[in-house]
Amino acid sequence: MPEIGEKAPDFEMPADGGEEVSLAALKGHPFVLYFYPKDDTPGCTKEAIGFSEKIKEFDKLGVKVIGVSKDTLAKHAKFREKHSLSVVL
């Protein structure tokens, strides 16, 4: 587990919408990775909606927001559609 202030470990993962997310692709660009336990639970939904409501502000700053959980891409797609989310999952 990385400590605060340490560099993020290299990663590569699929995202809903068919894109791949990797540390290498994000290098040199600010980003927020937020971790949550499960799609469509009360706290996780509130968090995802909150980031989605602020996505234009993040976009203006050039910051990509990525939510990470162990759910499948199909569950992410349903979660996104149900709550009109605009963050990458």
Catalytic residue numbers, as ranges: 44
Give the span between the Cα atoms of 87 and 66, in whole angstroms.
6
Q: What is the 3-state secondary structure (H, E, C) of 36-64?
A: CCCCCCHHHHHHHHHHHHCHHHHHHHCCE
Structure tokens belonging to residue 68: 């990470």
Tokens of residue 8, six digits: 């993020």
Give the pair of three-digit tokens for residue 18: 């068919």
